[in-house]
Structure 1
């Protein structure tokens, strides 16, 4: 199996208590904005790039909320999913990557939890957690 790192950005509107989600064309499902980390790209760079491509928004990444792992037999991938908390710093919702994303919408926490059952303790639980992330630079 090929190892694949995937990053997601949980963009949370704490005033209206809702999460920004995207509809993926390939799998006909909803997820947080995100995707595979490209060679030479840091996790943070990938999360910012994917959010911009999928939502049109410029975001700032905070800390890690969760790490999930799955063996994807159909794709022959061993996937590591890293979810960051993020906030919007500028832009307006406008899908850039129309080949993979068909819709972007805000959903309440309960609905987001139902759309992402792999976070077994729910989205509210994730929002109360934090793991620091540091890029240590290029090490020789």
Structure 2
């Protein structure tokens, strides 16, 4: 195993241990994503800045879940995105939800973590975690972000048919008082 691959795997494993200690058990999904050379270089930079990985949040309010639809997509997903240097996964989750949807949340725990092996021809694989938190709505008006990256933000009482990634189909739909 290449040293970069070993280091990135070690950091991902440390994230799993840290979040399990703080939040208890959660599902871990191992995924492989193919990256272009440019995407790989951007990820390598983020890895070197200790900002690899990202966070998403399954945000609930009563009996509904908050989902976003990105510009150019027809499918819905949980709000989330990449970490910034010096930012924890929890901080990234809260910031990304606010940026993408206009709402504030309270993080309740970890729903699951995706350990993603990024592969590019001729380069060593890099591993990074994406932590998907459970969160509850605190306030704010769901509004797409100003830079047009998010086209729509909505509350769903029933899971939409078109989901951006498979794991969303297994996330628990809330039951509440509306």
Match of 1:98, SS state, is: coil
Normalised TM-score (structure 1) = 0.70
Normalised TM-score (structure 2) = 0.57
Residue 106 of structure 1 corresponds to which residue in structure 2?
155
Using the TM superposition, give the Cα deviation of residue 51 of structure 1 relative to its aligned residue in structure 2, in angstroms: 0.6
Larger % of strand: which?
Answer: 1
Larger % of helix: which?
Answer: 2
Match of 1:52 among 81, 86, 98: 98
Structure 1: gaps (5+ residues): 128-140
Residue 63 of structure 1 corresponds to which residue in structure 2?
109
Structure 2: gaps (5+ residues): 1-39
Using the TM superposition, give the Cα deviation of residue 115 of structure 1 relative to its aligned residue in structure 2, in angstroms: 1.2
CA distance in 2, matches of 1:51, 1:97: 14
Counterpart contact for 1:109–1:123, Cα < 8 Å:
no
Larger Rg: 2
After superposition, the C-alpha distances for 1:103-130 in whole angstroms (9 at most, x for unaligned) are: 1112244437x615532871228x7xxx
Match of 1:115, SS state, is: coil
Counterpart contact for 1:21–1:31, Cα < 8 Å:
yes
Matches for 1:1-140 after TM superposition, within 5 Å: 2=44, 4-14=52-62, 16=63, 18-25=64-71, 29-73=75-119, 78-111=127-160, 115=163, 117-119=165-167, 122-124=170-172
Match of 1:44, SS state, is: helix
After superposition, the C-alpha distances for 1:51-72 in whole angstroms (9 at most, x for unaligned) are: 1111111111111010112334
Counterpart contact for 1:6–1:36, Cα < 8 Å:
yes
Match of 1:30, SS state, is: coil
Compared with structure 1, are the counterparts of its residues 54 and 26 closer, same or farther at alpha carbon in structure 2 (3 Å cutoff)?
same
Over the residues paired in the alignment, what is the CA RMSD in angstroms?
2.9
CA distance in 2, matches of 1:98, 1:57: 16
CA distance in 2, matches of 1:97, 1:32: 18
